[in-house]
A and B are shown apart, each in its own frame.
Chain A
């Protein structure tokens, strides 16, 4: 219990004969709860505005004629409250409401997913009657109906508490579900229409469902979790298990850098569902649908369970014993060590595993050619700013920015650049929205258009042509104004690295305005990999590789030979790929990297083909494992313990959910190192944590911020446009594989063009538009959007729009636009 008595604005009241001090404005139900008095409730939820709809929490307040709802009644000085524990009136009122709630509730608890963890079931036991007096017919509905491809609604189970609709409106801002009809026919539903509306829920409930508008929200799973009955269920879990058969494990989400606390439930070695964990400092009680449902990749049929070695005779990969595979990897790396080995650990590692890669690269391979960034790190074809992001991360991010979720919620103003919060950091989006809803947080975004997500944040847009953000950060008055209030925050997304001079301008802007700066990457392992030393210019603990003192500290801690650690900055990801392609490097050690995520997937795959020796540590078959000489299977997040570091720099430790023989990256690297006579000591998570904890504090001075020149956006001509692009939350990412139902909730890919381009191309909404480069083309239906002139937006990696693979370019590049499908296909059709 928090000690509220010391605060000034408190009142004293009596609940069930016990005097209690409460904060002014506090709700009676909360004060009672703090005292250990559980008042039954359904509509009440601490993170939603009071509704007073279910009437289950009625209590007696002295001086009031009628029982009052304790979930809406605020405390007052001298108030005397009697709950069901001391008031027969309150007890009778609660029992009466419970009886009424149950008259139309089906007795399908034995087959209902909620049975066993159901607030209605539990409170019917505490507050209800043993026998029903109700002898009339119960209300019936068709059951269940789809309100999205993922979410199912059993209306007859619904007690109409409106938690789901209130969540969707207040928290997520996706008001796609609402009350329909009235009286006992009142129900939750989506907008259904035969003639108007959107994409259809496909359940044939009204007409053929073509005109229905589904529950289109990235946060829809939360409504299932807060539903106090079994009315809302997820397609993925429905009828799969009973709660009392599940084993629950606290876990951390492995998807984005938001760092959600989760609960993973498994039964007989199989994960059946994940729920949002309760962490007020981070995700409160919410998570996104990707985090909730995106876990089936770990049980995909292409999971690798046995090491693979490329057979010298056949040239094919074959299964091998661990001893053989580890020896092959060790010998191959040893042979390549002289020429050089590049290490691409990827951004999905735990801090512990990232540290293992960092230590392995330095102590076993003797190289700084290590880069966790599996994404474009600079603009297409840009020759400037080669080390800009690495310098920025070293100077401004390593060791922590100190900015937290709480800071975001309470800031007077936030400027966002290079980040689309709803798509790339959904929980940060929810916290921004919370600040916005409280009416105090002003949000400004430098982006190419005001997306639906930004609209929900009430954001003001500083319209930017991709590539021009750096210049705007330096000169735009709206940008300066957004950071003028003390306590303002500048939130920078990883995509700003693609703008030459972008991160330099952001760092300078933060200095100039006094605003604190935060950097938000897209993957769960990105932030931790920086401090773990997975950058070509940084050793663990944010130590610059070029500082002899920093190297000496680590040499001592690692018991390495003095001077053994390489003292010059290594190659970044693009240069490692280039060096592998041109034969400079003798080998590559690749972790969880999908070449499709790199600046130029085709070039990356050519490099993987060209490099003489390739070791892959992977969970499933991938474009890397197919090309590897040795494939070493490692454990997915659910089968190992570890720690993610979220964008704040907060550690999110978790234990293994499933018992497994699968090994962590660190354990595998330790085994390889042992064969090369190095004791890596990264085989055990606790050992790594102890080692990390025992490292001395860095005495190295902070490196200088980058000061790259701000670029100007490209100048498209004729039928060209500048490309804007970012990932949608639900897309073709490999961690979303294996779940068609979840994929069904993705936003349909569209090509966004402004009115200018729509007119010059002669296309309207929904007509096909093709963006092409010398590499290839992407064709999508057009969505006419308020974009700057001559800018086209495409989803980075969605069905039909794999920008990097198909076009070979990144944001800011110039692409050619045309109406309809590309020529050759059309010509073939004509020929037919």
Chain B
């Protein structure tokens, strides 16, 4: 393991992660000692509109992947419309490689609770939901405990801290469907229906949960709010880049020495992040990587100096996504990896629209055949065309996410495919797995 150089180490900006290593920071007492619920007191003293303006000024962008400006989203909520408003926090973190929200909720759940209260106050919601992934049992337990503690201390419930503001916060565990991370499918699931994406418009800001104005935000977005309230917009903008302000939790996994979450200002490069993570694992050389989870186009070793912000990654032909960086080396096979991802997308497709439902069924089987040494040259053209027929044609982004690794690995690593087809690479799957196939 190599130690990162001091100038790289300085790029760490622990904001959201700052309490993670403090013992028992998930308890309300510890949290309060570490500046907890200070931002809430400050926020309740100002007008909700000023809070929305503050978040707008800070340049905070959604941490769930799309990077939509948070203040703008809050501003879409019609005020004085006589309807109940809802805040729904998307904690259904399920993208392969993504692991920033679950540790946050496990080690610092109160920051999310505090953010939820402030955000609800800003958009005038008296009920907020945290929709947490069903499998994340431990994080959900911590979160429920935190909510209970917050109620006991008067941070939740009626007349919070004497401000006259009421809020109920409900932690809802999903039942294990990746699609429920899509915001409208999440709302359907929360309402008790089958989790499938809704038609937009109407957008959630107008008719979301129970057909009422609803803000759906990612965990990281909401957890950022207390820090912005405490530190101010200018302090927040002092981190990151002009268009991508603030710190970001980069989740590094794969062939690196110290996998984990590294919080740095937006715009840091992979080279620096790998250095922070103690370098590549011995004997491994960087070959390809995902900038923001499996549904973002893969990048290769040549992109190691791409600035990891919304604009930089976009310019490199990919998407910043959830900054879930899976690092693969020269000992990994992009074809095999793509197949594994596809099995995930195929399993998780909700089935609503044709391209995603049928396209994944087809591509998965083609990959199985290629990996069993029975691929043909035409398979590559068919795969490329099928991916093209899914991307941008499916009802929601899940289909796009499934097509993405296919297209990007075919782009960068076509030779790896040909090696299976031409017999240079030994089959990775047995023919038995293809029983019934052509």
The chain A residues found within 8 Å of chain B, CB to CB, are 50-56, 58, 65-67, 72, 92-93, 96-97, 99-101, 103-104, 133-137, 139, 159-160, 178-179, 181-186
The closest CB in chain A to the CB of B356 belongs to A183
The docked-state distance in angstroms from the alpha carbon of A55 to that of B194 is 20
| A184 CB contact (under 8 Å) in B177, B349, B352, B389 | B349
A183's closest neighbor in chain B, by CB? Answer: B349
- Contacting residues, chain B, for A139 (C-beta < 8 A): 361
CB distance from B162 to the nearest CB of A (A): 41
Report yes or no: A55 in contact with B355, Cβ–Cβ below 8 A: yes
Q: Which of the residues A55, A183, A185 comes within 8 Å of B354, measured between beta carbons?
A: A55
Q: CB-CB < 8 A to A58: which residues of B? A: 393
> With A103-B362, A135-B438, A136-B365 given, is the CB distance from A183 to B392 under 8 Å?
no
Distance between Cα atoms of A54 and B378 in the complex (Å): 27
Known: A52-B199, A184-B357. 18 other contacts (CB 8 A): A53-B352, A54-B353, A96-B355, A97-B355, A97-B393, A100-B386, A104-B361, A135-B438, A136-B365, A136-B369, A136-B438, A139-B361, A181-B351, A182-B350, A183-B348, A184-B346, A184-B358, A186-B352
Can you name the residue of chain B whose Cβ is closest to the Cβ of A179? B194
User: Could you tell me the distance in whole angstroms from the C-beta of B74 to the nearest C-beta in chain A?
Assistant: 25
B436 engages A99 (CB within 8 Å): no
User: Is there a chain A Cβ closer than 8 Å to B347's Cβ?
Assistant: yes
A101 with B354: in contact, given A55-B393, A93-B393, A183-B348 (CB under 8 Å)? Answer: yes
Interface SS, B side: helix
Q: A182–B177 contact, CB under 8 A?
A: yes
CB atoms of A56 and B354 under 8 A apart: yes
By beta carbon, the residue of chain B nearest A42 is B354
Q: Inside 8 A of B386's CB, which chain A residues have their CB?
A: 96, 100
A96 to B354: give the CA distance in the assembly, Å.
10
Q: What are 11 contact pairs spanning A and B, CB under 8 A?
A: A55-B394, A96-B388, A96-B389, A100-B389, A134-B362, A139-B361, A160-B351, A160-B354, A183-B360, A184-B349, A184-B357
For window 185-218 of chain B, which residues contact chain A by CB distance below 8 Å? 194, 196, 199
Q: Please state if B361 and A184 are interface contacts (CB–CB under 8 Å).
A: yes
Given A50-B199, A53-B352, A182-B177, are A67 and B362 also a contact pair (CB < 8 Å)? Answer: no
Which residues of B sit under 8 angstroms from A185, Cβ to Cβ?
A: 351
Q: Would you call B194 and A178 a contact (CB within 8 A)?
A: yes
Known: A51-B199, A182-B177, A183-B349. A160 touches B357 (CB 8 A): yes
Q: Which of A139, A181, A186 has the most CB of B within 10 A?
A: A186
- Assembled-state Cα–Cα distance A136/B358 (Å): 12
Determine if B152 is an interface residue (Cβ-Cβ < 8 Å): no
**Least distance between B412 CB and chain A CB atoms (Å):** 23
State A97–B359 Cα separation when bound (angstroms).
Answer: 9
What 1/0 flags go to B378-397 for Cβ under 8 Å of A?
Answer: 10001001101110111100
B366 at the interface (CB under 8 A from A): yes
Cα of A93 to Cα of B354 in the assembled complex, Å:
12
Q: Mark B404-438, 1 if CB is under 8 A from A, else 0.
A: 00000000000000000000000000000000111
Report yes or no: A104 in contact with B358, Cβ–Cβ below 8 A: yes
Most central of A58, A99, A104 by chain B CB within 10 Å: A99
What residues of chain A lie closer than 8 Å to B353, measured between beta carbons? Answer: 52-55
Contact: B199 with A103, CB < 8 Å?
A: no
A107: shortest Cβ distance to chain B, in Å?
Answer: 15
Point out the residues of chain B lying under 8 angstroms from A93, CB to CB.
389, 393
Tell me, in angstroms, the Cα distance from A159 to B346 when the chains sit together: 17
Q: Which residues of the other chain, B, contact A178 by a CB distance below 8 angstroms? A: 194
Q: Give the chain A neighbours of B179 by CB distance below 8 A.
A: 182
Contact of A103 among B196, B361, B388, B438 (CB under 8 A): B361
Please state if B358 and A100 are interface contacts (CB–CB under 8 Å): yes
Q: How far is the CB of A450 from chain B (nearest CB, A)?
A: 24
Q: Bound complex: CA of A134 vs CA of B358, how far in Å?
A: 11
B357 lies within 8 A of A186 (CB):
yes
With A137-B438, A184-B346: A159-B354 Cβ-Cβ less than 8 Å:
yes
The 8 tightest CB contacts between A and B, nearest first, are: A186-B351, A96-B389, A66-B392, A136-B365, A135-B438, A184-B361, A100-B358, A183-B349
Chain B, residue nearest A98 (CB) = B354
B351 touches A184 (CB 8 A): yes
Complexed CA–CA distance, A133 and B383 (Å): 10
Q: Which residues from chain B contact A96 at a C-beta distance below 8 Å?
A: 355, 385-386, 388-389, 393
Which chain A residue has the least Cβ–Cβ distance from B382?
Answer: A133
B365 close to A137 (CB less than 8 A): yes
Q: A55-B395, A137-B365 are in contact. Are A72 and B360 (CB under 8 A)?
A: no
